[in-house]
Copies of this chain bind each other. A is one copy, B any other.
Amino acid sequence: MEKVFATIITIGDELLIGQVIDTNSAFIAQELNKAGILVRHRLAVGDNWEDIWEALDTESRHASLIIITGGLGPTADDITKPLLCEYFGGKMIVDQPTLDHVTHIFEQILKRPMIERNAKQAEVPDVCTVLKNEKGTAPGMLFQKEGRIYVSLPGVPHEMKWLMTNQVIPRLPQYFQTGFVEHRTLLTAGVGESFLAEMIREIEEALPAHIKLAYLPNYGMVRLRLSAFGWDKQKLSEEIEAQFAIFKNAVKEYLVTDQDIPMEQVVAQLLLARGKTLATAESCTGGYIAHLLTSHPGASAYYQGSVVSYANEIKQRVLSVSADTLATDGAVSEATVQQMAGAVLKIMQTDYAIAVSGVMGPDGGTKEKPVGMVWIAVASRETTKTQLFSFRFDRRRNIELTATNALNLLRIFILQNH
């Protein structure tokens, strides 16, 4: 048996001028991995006949499965479908089931007249297997050529995802005999990448050849990932689990979680397990902590809500921060976040609260309170703990760091049985 390699080709000038960020490729890569297929290349090319053609030629030499996304919309900048038709030596025909489906969408769901441009979406090369797209008008297409499989999917993320999950992945076993890929990821906090590397050097060097370790540093937190490939699923799982246990033990002092989940989910699991609730009072993060917590289903079981007190008068009027404190210590101060945390705990009647206030930049910094300075408070009904942070990145990154560190502070606070 041989490893099966795939290439993901994304089509669109918007990727080459940096107007949009490619999130599709990450999803496709994850799904292929779960199916035991290794992604060799991810390639973005423009809406350009020669470049797409050449990419197909080149990547055919690197991979036996080529997934293409983008370039299938109803508008004129799309050249992918005619190109695929020519590349695979077919001619365009109307696919009646697709035409019925498109007609149904316009008549029954969108309730808009269907124009010729929409009907054209039902035209496909006669050499492809049509993959019905239940989430949109552009169908997926599967081609076979010289022992390789090519799949073309629309670039709209939820349509692409539905097609990958329901039409592409289930078909792969027809074409490929795949092995198994397994990953294990843990998250550490409070230790630098180099130090961590020294700590685990010996166990890293003792890893068997089919298990690889990777470091994914992220400003004060480092994710460690073990990846393994093999043909015997049971054996592979056992091997990677055994290795993972060794790594977990070696870094236990700094271990946040042994799951591949973000910090807010670590906190959510802690709160859930203890039946506790949380509220937040956010100034500089402007609702970002609330957004992180509520972006996962089921948040209502432990999260009550937030007062985003972006303006100082809201800190005073809604969160009862005293005028004295704001005048003397200022909005970015230990006293302010203490009062914010205390107030939101009462308002929301929760077990725990987080409060943050800081200078995110690029403007608003002073000599005493420079950009990146942040006070964070975490509180229970009995006690409040504060910490001063100093970040040195851009606004967006400072907001993210403040949120993650606030959540980490609460995590430690809860674990210390406050």
A304 and B74 CA atoms in complex are apart in Å by: 42
Residues in A lying within 8 Å of B, measured CB to CB: 12-23, 25-31, 33, 38-47, 51, 55, 58, 73-77, 110, 112, 115, 117-118, 156-158, 161, 181, 183, 185, 192-198, 201, 204, 212-217, 225, 227, 260, 280, 282, 285-291, 293-295, 297-300, 303-311, 313-314, 317-318, 347-349, 361-363, 393-397, 399
Q: Is the CB of A28 within 8 A of B18?
A: yes
Q: Hey, which chain B residues are within 8 Å of A19, CB to CB?
A: 26, 30, 183, 185, 216, 225, 260
Q: Give the 9 A-B residue pairs with the shortest CB-CB distance, closest first.
A: A286-B294, A287-B290, A287-B287, A18-B29, A18-B30, A306-B308, A42-B44, A18-B26, A16-B39
Q: For chain A, what secondary structure do more than half of its interface residues adopt (helix, strand, loop), or is it mixed?
A: mixed
Residues of chain B contacted by A197 (CB below 8 angstroms) = 74-76, 117
A311 to B197, CA, bound (A): 43
With a cutoff of 8 Å between Cβ atoms, the chain B residues found around residue A314 in the complex are 304-305, 348
Residue contact A303 to B310, C-beta cutoff 8 Å = yes
| Residue among B196, B297, B299, B306 making CB contact with A306, cutoff 8 Å | B306
6 more A-B residue pairs beyond the given contacts A18-B39, A112-B192, A286-B295, with a C-beta to C-beta distance below 8 A: A20-B26, A47-B214, A158-B393, A280-B308, A305-B314, A307-B308
Contact of A311 among B26, B204, B305 (CB under 8 A): B305
Max chain B CB contacts within 10 Å: which of A31, A161, A294? A294
